[in-house]
Amino acid sequence: APDHQQLVALRHTLRETFSLDELQTLCFTLNIPYEDLPGDSHTGKVEEIVGYMQRRQQLAALVAYGRQQRPQAAWPQITPPDIPVRNDIAIVVSIAQPALTTVADYLDEEDIPAHFVLLTNVPGYDHTEFLGLDDDWDAVAKLFYQTTQSIRLQFPQARLHLFLAAPLSLCFLLGCTWGTVYQGDYLYHLHHDKDGRSRYVRVAVITRQLRET
């Protein structure tokens, strides 16, 4: 856990290097509810942001974002909580149909020991629902963007495995939010065999070269 001096240094550096508008962008990227944070002053917002991330053991992600945006600033060395080191992270977007079990089976068959991140519009995940015309599609895209950015900050060397079980229009919207590609991330398609069996198949590697074409 960070000590008092590290927290003081973090607050000081945030105050000195980020304006109020830039703090809003920081909150958007790190999925911090800026409008719900108490206080209106610059100093007050900084205090609340640090406290919010400290309670969730995500101070390392906050420092990583700050170092990415302001590399010349003096950022304290805050290490993330102990999480088993894995080189692969599976992001499962399950909205149109159940996908978690199918993804787990695929990763097990391919011997890929990945961390799991599940994005769904049903909190209990006891069923699946399509997004309706009255649902907030932008909110899903925003959550996807914030999730991938947070993963990038905390696990910069990890390869992402993207499994989509969502409407085509939503998949396109998610693709529009895809951020920087590092070593190449994998995209999977849910294939349905003639015998009715469903399984995921790797169909593309998302590389910088692909994004630049």
Contact 30, 115 (CB under 8 A): no
Question: pLDDT tens track of the chain, all 213 residues?
Answer: 678 899 999 999 999 999 999 999 999 888 888 888 888 899 999 999 999 998 888 888 899 899 989 999 999 988 776 666 678 999 999 887 888 888 988 998 899 989 888 888 877 777 777 777 777 888 888 888 888 888 887 787 888 999 988 888 888 888 888 765 556 788 898 888 888 788 888 888 887 676 666
- pLDDT for the residue 182: 58
- Per DSSP, the residues of 125-160 read -SS-----TTS-HHHHHHHHHHHHHHHHHH-TTPEE
Contact 94, 164 (CB under 8 A): no
Rounded Cα distance between 85 and 56, Å, is 19
Question: pTM of whole model > 0.75?
Answer: no
Beta bridge partners of 115: 89
List, for residues 100-133, the tens digit of each pLDDT value.
888 988 998 899 989 888 888 877 777 777 777 7
- pLDDT for the residue 158: 86
Tokens 């695929």 belong to 106
Q: How far, CA to CA in Å, does 75 sit from each of 78, 195, 199?
A: 9, 56, 45
Residues with Cβ < 8 Å from 81, sequence gap 6 or more? 57, 60
> Helix, strand, or coil here: 212?
helix
Tokens 């995921």 belong to 200
- pLDDT for the residue 179: 63
Residues with Cβ < 8 Å from 126, sequence gap 6 or more? none
- pLDDT for the residue 212: 66
- pLDDT for the residue 18: 95
Mean pLDDT, the chain, integer: 85
